[in-house]
Amino acid sequence: MEEMNILITAEAKRELDKLLENSEKKCIRILTRCITMTSDAKIDLELDDYNENDNLYDVDGYKIAINKALDSQMNYITISYGGLLSRNQFSVEADFCFYY
């Protein structure tokens, strides 16, 4: 299996540090989430624990857990925080392997 290319921006690292400091969970899980029944799913993150169905990555000291089935569909992930379209929240962008 190829190594996943994951980028975490400096702003996201600052906010993740705050969340992890006050949590018993030590992994950052990348997952798909459907906001409403009529909207498309989006890539999101939450604090969680690693399990045997996950691939675990160490990115700059952060433990990133991704379900193996979801992981096999992505080439790279960017985790950011803030900005024009996602002020005061995390944004997770992923490149899916649909065209490769």
User: Model-level pTM?
Assistant: 0.84
- Whether the Cβ atoms of residue 67 and residue 50 lie closer than 8 Å to each other: no
- Residue 65, judged by CB atoms within 10 A of its CB (0-12, 13-18, 19+), counts as buried
What does the pLDDT look like over 45-100, one tens digit per residue? 999 999 999 999 999 999 999 999 999 888 889 999 987 666 789 999 988 776 54
d(CA 17, CA 15): 5
Residue ranges of domains in the chain, CATH in brackets? 5-99 (2.60.300.12)
